[in-house]
Structure 1
Amino acid sequence: MHNREQISHDEYQKTADWLMCKTKHRPQVAIVCGSGLGMLADTLKCQDSFAYSDIPGFPQSTVQGHAGRLVFGDLKGKSCVCMQGRFHMYEGHSLIKTTFPIRVFKLMGVETLIVTNAAGSLADGLKPGDIMLIKDHINVPGLVGLNPLCGPNDDKFGPRFPAMSGCYDKGLRCLAMELAKQLDITGLVQEGVYAMVGGPNFETIAEARLLHRLGVDAVGMSTAPEVLVATHCGLRVFGLSLITNKVVKSYEDTESVNHEGVLEVGRLRSQTVQQLVTELIGRMEINNNDNTNNVA
């Protein structure tokens, strides 16, 4: 079972302390970059960057399109930290390891988590190149007990039974839609429901049809565990999916998806995603109080 491994509060604190000794930045916003979207880190000013392999406690990212670096810097007057590459259950990491950075960010003073991913479209109205603002998710592994919060609860981070209704901040979604109008990209942006599956295989036709009937608009292999842990420890969350392909739902359809195609759509739409996220960070309200190490 993926969730038997436990990480102590002291281990999270050790990593947070190591990073805070290595950089002057005290991030207010954390950004997790999905496949092909690591360019978001390139917008940060006054950068400090660290390879995951050099950071105590960090797992390693093994997926093509994930650089495996943690980048600190300033963006639109906000101090940010950006993960160029995330960790996945299908890489063999336990879920508590895939979400390890989120609690470290909390200890460093982060208030808002922005999660991005590449996803396949199940909704007829979503096409490759579109941007879906995540309003809710279905955590398929979580429904069968694969959850990063399984095991003893650490009350220093959050409650035993966190509520997940409204885990994606409505105010930030409304702001993103307003910014889409200002950027003249409303035709590319809409809200929807994301589903996480375990991967690494893409979905069968029967699985795609099932998820579609459940009300899923886009499907991928990440994000839900990070959002669970972020919500558990009180972070505000904004999520978006870059739609990179249409999921096959018909036995008559001869097309198939591959990871190279996913990365190519990411490259083609990267500037638009970068612009939207940059403007969102610039416009979001942040508590400017010094809240580093605010989980005692």
Structure 2
Amino acid sequence: MAMLVQINEAAAYIKGFAKETPVAGIILGSGLGNLAGEISGGTEIPYSDIPHFPPATVEGHSGKLILGRLGGKPVVAMAGRFHYYEGLSMQQVTFPIRVMKALGIHTLLISNAAGGMNKTFRVGDLMIITDHINLQPEHPLRGRNDDRLGPRFPDMSEPYAKTLVAAAKEIASAKDISLHTGVYVGVQGPTFETRAEYKFMHAIGGDAVGMSTVPEVIVAVHSGLKVFALSVITDLGIRDEDNVITHEEVLAAAKGAEPHLTYIFSELVRQL
């Protein structure tokens, strides 16, 4: 079945629950699902009910789509994302971005849990992603291009909207929230990085590393969406030679940073 047909079928199903057209889409990363509780008048749709949506399989990702209001504006939020390492194709991983575009969004806000490689970072810090390096082994736009979805060769010179980055900095400054900016390195996973890999990715320009986000951003840019992305630094693989990273520690660190992330996202949406 053609992708556009699948997109339209999924969007049509979701529109049956929507009270208004969302202006923004939100993707909640590992351990960052509590922002969903701030969405007022929320209608929750399990991914398993939505045509052509794959199931969420990762702990810390609840697997539901939420329609409601955040910051006084209508939004659609993914409580749980998909990853290439789950055995899905890149087209499946990024399918929800296509669907949210079909629902009417013009802006995509992304959160993730990431490993810190910048020596100034601490666990629980927030980093605005200003650029990325794609080290994932598959590309979500590989294959025949459907010009109705976007151009064959999308420009990636500004994948993260500078206007949204500037707005987030102002929001954080007014609330005395400390923010870093940096480059996110996207890898396949599901293994956490070796010490040598951390050093390599830092040497090529990376400040943080994670197993998501990059494919979603590529498809969002292809779709003509404005993108803002924020990483929660949940571990520091580059500094502590005795450091052992567990998924449980990642989730705990993410939850600690969640109030600040929630505030920034809410205020960004309010300004749209």
**In the TM superposition, what is the alpha-carbon distance from 1:77 to its structure 2 partner?**
2.2
Give aligned-pair identity as a percent: 44
How far 1:7 moved relative to its partner? 4.5
Query: Quick check: 1:196 aligned with 2:198?
Result: no
1:105 lines up with 2:84 in the alignment: no
What is the TM-score normalised by the length of structure 2? 0.97
Match of 1:277 in 2: 265
Aligned to 2:21: 26
Aligned length: 272
Does structure 2 conserve the Cα–Cα contact (< 8 Å) formed by 1:132 and 1:243?
Answer: yes
Q: Distance in 1 between matches of 2:2 and 2:154?
A: 19
The structural deviation recorded for 1:259 is 0.4
Task: Measure, in 1, the Cα distance between the counterparts of 2:33 and 2:210.
Answer: 17
Q: What does residue 216 of structure 1 align with?
A: 206
Residue 149 of structure 2 corresponds to residue 161 of structure 1 = no
Tell me what 1:150 maps to: 142
Q: CA RMSD in A?
A: 1.1
Q: Does 1:264 find its partner at 2:252?
A: yes
Q: For structure 2, which runs of at least 5 residues remain unmatched after alignment? A: none
Q: Structure 2: which amino acid aligns with 1:72?
A: L
Partner of 2:125: 130
- Quick one: which of 79, 86, 89 aligns to 2:81? 86
Q: Who is 1:178 aligned against?
A: 170
Instruction: Report Cα offsets for 1:154-196 as digits up to 9, x if no partner.
Output: 10011000011101000100010011111111xx201100001
Distance 1:128 1:87 in 2: 24
1:63 match: secondary structure: coil
For structure 1, the 5+ residue unaligned runs are: 1-5, 285-296
Instruction: Quote the Cα distance in structure 1 between the aligned partners of 2:174 and 2:264.
Output: 10
Structure 2 SS opposite 1:22: coil
2:67, 2:199 → 1: CA distance? Answer: 41
Equivalent position amino acid for 1:9 in 2: L
d(CA) in 2 for partners of 1:282 and 1:84?
Answer: 20
Decide which of 111, 119, 128 is 1:116's aligned counterpart: 111
Moved runs in structure 1, 4+ residues, more than 6 A?
none
CA contact (8 A) 1:208 1:249 kept: no
Measure, in 2, the Cα distance between the counterparts of 1:210 and 1:56: 41
**Alignment partner of 2:114: what SS?**
strand
